[in-house]
């Protein structure tokens, strides 16, 4: 008979500071980014992992002014190895397609070179993707730093209607009581 064990096989990222699965690392980063947006906006409604048409790539969605203000969207990319400028530019181009007034790309602080030309501006010059840097250290809560401030994008009326429909049907995960 074969030897049996109680060990489970998991998708793990082994690092000197922590041994967390990719899913848990992503979840912790999502919480840190959501908390960052909550602290930066006036009266935010924050949605974690919103599920709706056109929202599949968005990890955190925030609507300022209790849901009636500007829309902020964040896509989080927790990379495990340094990534070249070409790959980060691709992530930026995908972030530009998010239906939001303010668009952010969250990247790991320790392996990201934000000094490169990442082409953050919209083609028409109205709007710039913001860069958030996520720091993971030991078993501490991840921290988020605003490395590049976003600038307001134009948003198509049909996209805005789609977002407003989502906001009206869904309870926020984080909000401020008024």
Q: What percent of the chain has pLDDT over 70?
A: 83
Q: Which structural domain, as residue segments, surrounds residue 103?
A: 15-172
Q: What is the pLDDT of residue 176?
A: 76
Chain CA centroid to CA 2, Å:
45
DSSP state of 151: B
Is residue 7 very low, low, confident or very high in pLDDT (cuts 50, 70, 90)?
A: very low
Residue 8 lies in a domain: no
Residue 158 lies in a domain: yes
On the CB side of 87, how many CA atoms lie within 13 Å of its CA? Answer: 11
Neighbour tally for 3: CB within 10 Å? 4
| Helix, strand, or coil (residue 64) | coil
- Does residue 8 register a pLDDT over 70? no
Residue 133 lies in a domain: yes
- Does residue 85 register a pLDDT over 80? yes
* pLDDT tens figures, 44-77: 889 999 977 678 889 999 998 765 689 999 999 9
């Amino acid at each position: 008979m074969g030897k049996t064990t109680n060990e489970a096989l998991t998708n793990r990222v082994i690092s000197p500071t922590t041994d967390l699965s990719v899913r848990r690392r992503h979840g912790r980063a999502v919480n840190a980014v959501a908390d960052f947006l909550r602290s930066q906006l006036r009266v935010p409604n924050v949605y974690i992992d919103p599920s709706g048409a056109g929202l599949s790539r968005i990890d955190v969605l925030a609507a300022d002014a209790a849901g009636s203000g500007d829309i902020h969207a964040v896509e989080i990319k927790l990379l495990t190895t340094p990534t070249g400028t070409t790959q980060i530019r691709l992530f930026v181009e995908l972030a530009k397609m998010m239906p939001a007034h303010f668009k952010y790309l969250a990247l790991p602080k320790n392996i990201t070179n934000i000094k490169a030309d990442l082409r953050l501006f919209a083609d028409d010059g109205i709007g710039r993707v913001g860069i958030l840097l996520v720091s993971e250290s030991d078993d501490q809560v991840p921290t988020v730093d605003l490395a590049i401030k976003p600038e307001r994008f134009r948003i198509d009326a049909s996209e805005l209607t789609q977002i407003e429909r989502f906001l009206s049907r869904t309870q926020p995960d984080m909000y401020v009581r008024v």
